[in-house]
């Protein structure tokens, strides 16, 4: 029988080693992937963590007030703490790489990156999270980065003293409004639904801003206007009615997130929303492939939940590898 590789800790701090067979490849450097990395390292699995970035959606979050142990922490600070903790362990970390495919190559799993690097591993954890959903209206694509934004935390400071619209009245939209109240002159909120779908604590903060925020509930966006930069948006009541033009210089699109499961399409079972289907041990439809966090069908998308699922996925991967003993 071949020696159990995961009893041999790899050297610290190496990047992606092509041609090397890892015990475990973790795709994604958000709360789920980073926590999985710590748990895998503590089981002395020969692990690679490969990701486009470190932090994931926490980098887009200004205030986190519901991660236990911190009454308040900014998303960037929390991501930095996660990074520091995972880097204290001897696992390979490759940042700036996008995994574009995942499949089988003999008994092992083979992952390929957009830069055509090949990763081989005995087990895999997919922790690729979610990304912003586009509105798909005329003008949106053309004006991205020129007034159209999907990240209020990143871009709100650019709209000091300006008028802006936030599209979406869920938690992400409400969070964007709370950020923008402090910066912009006037904030319009547009949503096809008849009212807020955000946490009451956020809605209360918005109500306290008074007339600075004007909501158009039950309205849809028809188009975004502007030549070189956003100059306004045109909305109309859902189901028809008179169009209204809002003269804004910024549009923040906060209408939900799409799971980053493209790499798993055709290989792992996905639900109708495109989320990877997992059981309570983070096992997917393919033995040896586990998934954790926002990319899965686990309800509620939160940092603490993603981190917990990442821990579970790593422990399940360890149990799987022990069972394989090859």
Ligand X SMILES: Cc1cc2nc3c(=O)[nH]c(=O)nc-3n(C[C@H](O)[C@H](O)[C@H](O)COP(=O)(O)OP(=O)(O)OC[C@H]3O[C@@H](n4cnc5c(N)ncnc54)[C@H](O)[C@@H]3O)c2cc1C
Contacting positions for ligand X (CB under 6 A):
27-33, 50-53, 56-58, 60-61, 64, 66-67, 98-99, 127-130, 172, 175, 260, 263, 293-294, 301-304, 306
Token pair for 314: 């790593």
In the bound state with ligand X, the residue whose beta carbon lies nearer, of 23 and 155, is 155
Query: CB 231 → ligand X: shortest distance, Å?
Result: 26
Q: Which two tokens stand for residue 124?
A: 């895999």
Task: Give the start-end residues of each E strand in 114-231.
Answer: 118-126, 130-132, 148-149, 163-167, 186-191, 213-217, 219-225
Task: Report in angstroms how near the CB of residue 34 gets to ligand X at its nearest.
Answer: 7
Closer by beta carbon to ligand X, 189 or else 226:
189
Shortest Cβ 261–ligand X spacing (Å): 9
| Smallest separation, CB 26 to ligand X (Å) | 10
Distance, CA of 35 to CA of 193 (rounded, Å): 36
Nearest to ligand X by Cβ — which residue? 129
3-state secondary structure of 206: helix
Report in angstroms how near the CB of residue 161 gets to ligand X at its nearest.
23
Distance CA 214, CA 61 (A): 23
When the beta carbons of 147 and 310 are compared against ligand X, the nearer one is 310
Question: Measured from the CB atom, is 91 or 226 closer to ligand X?
Answer: 91
CB of 129 to ligand X, least distance (A): 2
**Cα 177 from Cα 189, distance rounded (Å):** 8
How many C-beta atoms surround the C-beta of residue 11 within 10 A? 8
* Nearest to ligand X of 149, 226 (CB atom): 149
C-alpha 194/C-alpha 190 separation (Å) is 10
Q: Which H or E run includes 323?
A: helix 303-324
Q: How far is the CB of 89 from ligand X (least distance, A)?
A: 18
Q: Which residues contact 242 (CB under 8 A, 6 or more apart)?
A: 236
- Residue 186 CB, nearest distance to ligand X (Å)? 21
Q: Specify the residue, 74 or 324, whose C-beta has the smaller distance to ligand X.
A: 74
Beta carbon nearer to ligand X, 150 or 226: 150
Token digits for 292? 């954790």
226 vs 296, beta carbon nearer ligand X? 296
DSSP-assigned letter for residue 59: G
Which C-beta is closer to ligand X: that of 130 or that of 186?
130
How far apart (Å, rounded) are the C-alpha atoms in residues 115 and 220? 39
Question: How are the residues of the chain apportioned to helix, strand and coil, as percentages rounded to the nearest 5?
Answer: 30, 30, 45
Exposure on the CB side of residue 22, measured as CA atoms within 13 A = 36
Phi/psi at 187 (nearest 5 deg)? -125, 120
Q: How many CA atoms lie within 13 A of 312 on its CB side?
A: 18
Least distance between ligand X and beta carbon 75 (Å): 7
């Amino acid at each position: 029988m071949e020696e159990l590789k995961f009893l041999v800790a790899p050297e610290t701090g190496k990047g992606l080693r092509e041609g090397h067979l890892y015990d475990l490849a973790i795709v994604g450097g958000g709360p789920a992937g980073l926590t999985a990395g710590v748990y895998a390292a503590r089981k002395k699995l020969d692990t690679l963590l490969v990701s486009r970035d470190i932090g994931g959606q926490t980098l887009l979050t200004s205030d986190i007030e519901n991660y236990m142990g911190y009454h308040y922490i900014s998303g960037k600070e929390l991501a930095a703490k996660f990074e520091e903790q995972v880097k204290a362990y001897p696992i390979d970390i490759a940042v700036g790489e996008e995994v574009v495919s995942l499949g089988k190559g003999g008994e092992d799993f083979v992952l390929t990156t957009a830069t055509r690097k090949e990763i081989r591993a005995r087990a895999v954890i997919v922790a690729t999270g979610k990304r912003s959903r586009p509105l798909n209206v005329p003008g949106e694509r053309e004006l991205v980065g020129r007034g159209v934004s999907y990240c209020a935390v990143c871009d709100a400071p650019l709209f000091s003293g300006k008028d802006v619209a936030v599209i979406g009245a869920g938690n992400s939209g409400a969070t964007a409004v709370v950020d923008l109240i402090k910066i912009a002159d006037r904030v319009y909120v547009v949503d096809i639904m008849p009212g807020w779908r955000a946490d009451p604590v956020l809605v209360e903060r918005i109500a306290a801003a008074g007339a600075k925020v004007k909501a158009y509930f039950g309205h849809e966006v028809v188009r975004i206007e502007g030549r070189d930069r956003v100059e306004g948006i045109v909305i109309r009541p859902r189901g028809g009615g008179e169009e209204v033009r809002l003269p804004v210089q910024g549009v923040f699109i906060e209408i939900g997130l799409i799971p980053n499961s493209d790499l798993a399409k055709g290989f792992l079972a996905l639900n109708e929303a495109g989320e990877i289907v997992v059981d309570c041990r983070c096992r997917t439809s393919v033995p040896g492939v586990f998934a954790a966090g926002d990319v899965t069908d686990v309800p509620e998308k939160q940092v603490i939940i993603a981190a917990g699922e990442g821990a579970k996925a790593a422990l399940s991967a360890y149990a799987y590898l022990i069972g394989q003993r090859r």
